[in-house]
Amino acid sequence: MVIATPKRIKQIKFGLISPKEFRKMSVTRVITADTYDDDGFPIEMGLMDTKLGVIDPGLRCKTCGGRAGECPGHFGHIELVAPVIHVGFAKLIRKILRATCRKCGALLLEPNQKKKYLEQIKTLRKMGQPIEDIVNEVFKEARKAGTCTYCGEVQQEIKFEKPTTYIENEHKLMPTDIRSRLEKITDEDIEVIGMDPQNARPEWIVLTVLPVPPVTMRPSITLESGQRSEDDLTHKLVDIIRINQRFQENREAGAPQLIIEDLWELLQYHVTTFIDNAVSGVPPARHRSGRPLKTLSQRLKGKEGRFRGSLSGKRVNFSARTVISPDPNLRIFEVGVPLEVAKELTITMNVTPRNLDEVKEYVRRGPDNHPGANYIVRADGRRVKITESNSKELADLVELGWKVDRQIKDGDVVLFNRQPSLHRMSIMAHEIKVLPHKTFRLNPAVCPPYNADFDGDEMNLHVPQTEEARAEAKILMHVQENILSPRFGGPIIGGIHDHISGLFLLTNSKEKINKNDALELLRKSEIRELLEPAGMVDHEPYWTGKQIFSQILPGGLNLQFKAEICEQCEVCKGVDCENDAYVVIRDGILERGTIDEKAIGAFKSVILDKLIKEFNSDIACRFIDDATRLSIRGIMHSGFSFGIDDEYIPPEAQSQIDEVMTQAQDKVEKLISAYLAGELEQLPGRTLTETLEMEIMKELSKARDSTGDIAGRHLGMDNSAVIMARSGARGSMLNLTQMAACVGQQAVRGERIKRGYAGRTLSHFEKGDLGAQAHGFVRASYKSGLSPTEYFFHAIGGREGLVDTAVRTSQSGYLQRRLVNALQDLEVQFDGSVRDTRKMIIQFKYGEDGINPMNSDFSKPEAVRRIIDSVVGVKE
């Protein structure tokens, strides 16, 4: 194979194509709008002329002799009966017309001014800087002139009507007039307006010849019915040719000026929509079905256009996509792949003396007997499909130098991805595990980096095809190597939801676990020995939850930290914490404290952080596997559920809540009457109304919080929702307050709800009512149920949240695109500096400190303290 060295592009030049050049590059003039004759053969000088290239197999190109697939296609041309404006340059024409003399075509500037601007343009060009600003100044200055200094002609105001109409003195300028004016501009003047007279004469913007794109660019497709369906571009070209012909006939027949102008306008319309079918002010040309045609601009623009859709991003082979579902029994770096998918995706094996027997076995198994092989490529490059019937024969034929596409099997490295791919952990390398059923399976501990859940999310899977790609994936992208996030220097993979609840229940309870249960809890982990029992009950040994958890901790681990459930007491009692919130792990034994989000949760896990930074990712990975499995068994051991009864508040608490609410309501009433009486004390920098609003909001939110506190006192740690909120598994105490006690103020843009009917929010209230209920305060709890007005206000507040998210995602998506485009080629050099492809320095030291944020301690400069601790020993 010849490896071509990539060539460096030195220069790109843009310009306009002259009519002469259009004709030169054309292989035929197109005069008839018809495409095929009755025999289905392309008509000569028609839009499908075989000189323009061929798309039907069997035919040969009349220009190059190539068959379909070989012939690249060739341009033709249409001679326009009357010139038309190129929409893409309509604004430029306006500028040029206004800057040049209507009679002699001179640029309306003094000679010395022209010289000055030209020099400026030349220096800017030399420095590779944009000349836009100077050119715009030239146009602005030239427009000011009232008379031509060269011929004395008085200039007229030129009005521009979108998209392609120019009006001078109530008199419409025809493209012919415009073209003849542009022709008069001298080469010297053209340079002053920033154009290149050799490559872009202004009159070339007014089209007299229209190039006809090659047939290969607009292939027709044959429908099942045998009917031909033409490309949108062909449809548009048909329109142009028809009108062009009609125009000519009418003009030759001496039709009245009015009709000629109408036809001219129509020709302009068709050429405009041929170039761009989404010009504002021009009704888009439509297909018979009513669908707007996709013409030249539409092929290039936007997400699905040529640049973003076909060049920067393409569709790929060796990939699969399906719904995901959880499987805590998989290891975190595994991905469960449906058998059907595994049979379809392949890896190419080169047959060598070392793998000959193995390869033969794959081929023998054929395509239906996983893991088998789907194709072989013989030494001469011929591809042969392996079928049930030829697999045995082919297996015997396989020899060195052949290639075999074997099906992927357990242990193969694949890339797994969930969109939107916002950070590098959105694509990670997993090892596959072929499983029955139709979904991709993944350990729920890897949901956070993908931001995945299982409400119908789909994910993509890609199979790397070369040894280099596989090695790179395994070394750089493997899940194990991405447990730490470079965003904040802590673990992003770890326990979520039930993992946290499960281990919390296990390690926080005083339950005595007998041998049977202890072994049951640890069954899925590879631990086969138990610690010394904690004691005996009824002559039976028992173990504590902490001891069971200790079994999955690696020996040699020493840690002390405050758990998530820590109440941040004024003076921390440390090991004597009555909430068991101070965690002490000594030599891999959990001596004190409760395991919760702070210990094993994704984003916060202190244990995982330590394991990766001071042990290795292998041990950390094993720990997550064990922790997820143990936690699921732990939660099943005691059972865990949440229902409407868990929101029950005893009557005495309910009456306390009612009391608080009534008091708050009273206070609000007082504030309002003070306001109305003009006795309200104004806050600095606020109007009186603003002050009132703020005071009311403050009062009501205080009331809501204290109802929450009352509810919280009656819902203790025996309540599932409280366990989840306190341990950090899911939800918050606020959620619980809203369910059990009071939903609280509904806000729009951070203010009470004000809009609605004249003078009031809803017709249920009196005009001018400033009270809490009239402005979106929801006194009820979700359990007690909302009143109709409360329900309505709640819907208003809820809608704001939805709108916000929709707006935010689109904005952040665009921001992301711009950032990625700006930063994608930056590289950290060996000297620690960050440079771009031009070798310009962006940073002298990567991130100011030269530190890989993944290895920093939660982005804090604490490495030194950690080292000291490990040498001196952690103080008790």
Which partner in Zn ion, other proteins, Mg ion, none is near 63 (CB below 5 to 8 A by kind)? Answer: Zn ion
3 state SS for 629-656: HHHHHHHHHHCCCCCHHHHCCCHHHHHH
Residue 130 makes contact with other proteins by CB under 8 A:
no
Q: Per the structure block, which two tokens stand in for 851?
A: 């530190």
What are the percentages of helix, strand and coil residues in the chain, rounded to 5?
A: 40, 15, 45
Is 755 an interacting residue with respect to other proteins (CB under 8 A)?
A: no
* Closest CB to other proteins among residues 390, 843: 843
Q: Interacting stretch for Zn ion, rule CB under 5 A, among 205-213, 369-377, 566-574, 743-751?
A: 566-574
Q: Is 104 in the site for Zn ion (CB under 5 A)?
A: yes
Minimum separation from the CB atom of position 508 to Zn ion (A): 14
The 19-58 contact track toward Zn ion, x by CB under 5 A, reads ----------------------------------x-----
Q: Rg of the Cα trace of the chain?
A: 38
Query: Residue 453: which of Zn ion, other proteins, Mg ion, none does it interact with, CB under 5 to 8 A by kind?
Result: Mg ion
> Under the criterion CB under 8 A, does residue 123 sit at the interface with other proteins?
no
Q: Which two tokens stand for residue 601?
A: 């949760």
Residue 148 touches Zn ion, criterion: CB under 5 A: yes
Count of C-beta atoms within a 10 Å radius of residue 531 = 14
3-state SS class at 537: strand
Could you tell me the sign of the dihedral formed by the alpha carbons of 247, 250, 253, 256, in that order? negative
Nearer to Zn ion, 151 or 636 (CB): 151
Residues, the chain, total? 876
CA distance 150 to 636: 95
Number of residues that bind Mg ion (CB under 5 A): 3
Residue 665 CA to residue 801 CA, distance in Å, equals 27
How far apart, in whole angstroms, are the C-alpha atoms of residue 799 and residue 838? 48
Taking the least distance from each CB to other proteins, the nearer of 804 and 849 is: 849
Q: What residues are paired with 376 via a beta bridge? A: 384, 404
Tell me the closest approach of the beta carbon of residue 109 to Zn ion, in angstroms.
Answer: 12
The two tokens of residue 210 are 């229209």
Kindly report the number of other CB atoms within 10 A of residue 837's CB atom: 9
Q: Provide φ and ψ at 757, rounded to 5°.
A: -80, 175
Binding residue for other proteins, selected from 25, 676, 734, 841, defined by CB under 8 A: 841
Q: Which run of H or of E encompasses 704?
A: helix 688-714
* Residue 109 interacts with Zn ion (CB under 5 A): yes or no: no
For 253, the 3-state DSSP assignment is coil
Look at the block and give the residue holding tokens 């804090």: 860
Q: Name the strand (E) or helix (H) holding 347.
A: strand 346-350
Is residue 532 close enough to count as binding Mg ion by CB under 5 A?
Answer: no
One character per residue 681-720, x = contact with Mg ion (rule: CB under 5 A): ----------------------------------------
- Give 142 or 459: the residue with its C-beta nearer to Zn ion: 142
| Nearest CA-CA partner of 443 in 603, 322, 334 | 334
Q: How far is the CB of 437 from Mg ion (least distance, A)?
A: 19
What's the min distance (Å) between Cβ of 459 and Mg ion?
Answer: 11
DSSP-derived letter for residue 574 is G
The nearest distance, CB 105 to Zn ion, in angstroms, is: 7
Please report, as residue ranges, which positions from 821 to 840 form the binding site for other proteins (by CB under 8 A). 831, 833, 835, 839-840
Residue from the set 249, 453, 540, 849 that interacts with Mg ion by CB under 5 A: 453
Q: Binding residue for other proteins (CB under 8 A) from 861, 865, 866, 870?
A: 861
Residue 467 binding other proteins, by CB under 8 A: no
If binding is defined by CB under 8 A, does position 844 make contact with other proteins?
yes
Q: Contact 147/101 with Cβ under 8 angstroms? A: no
Which of other proteins, Mg ion, Zn ion, none does residue 566 bind to, with CB < 5 to 8 Å depending on kind?
Answer: Zn ion
Q: Which of 323, 379, 842, 867 binds other proteins (CB under 8 A)?
A: 842
Nearest to 842 by CA among 851, 833, 830, 829: 833
Three-state DSSP state, 336: strand
Q: Report the run of H or E that residue 165 belongs to, with start and end.
A: strand 165-168
Q: How far is the CB of 844 from other proteins (least distance, A)?
A: 6
Give the footprint of Zn ion on this chain (CB under 5 A). Answer: 53, 61, 63-64, 66, 71, 101, 103-104, 106, 148, 150-151, 153, 566, 569, 572, 577, 581
**Chain contacts with other proteins (rule: CB under 8 A):** 831, 833, 835, 839-845, 847-851, 856, 859-861
Q: Which residues bind Mg ion (CB under 5 A)?
A: 453, 455, 457
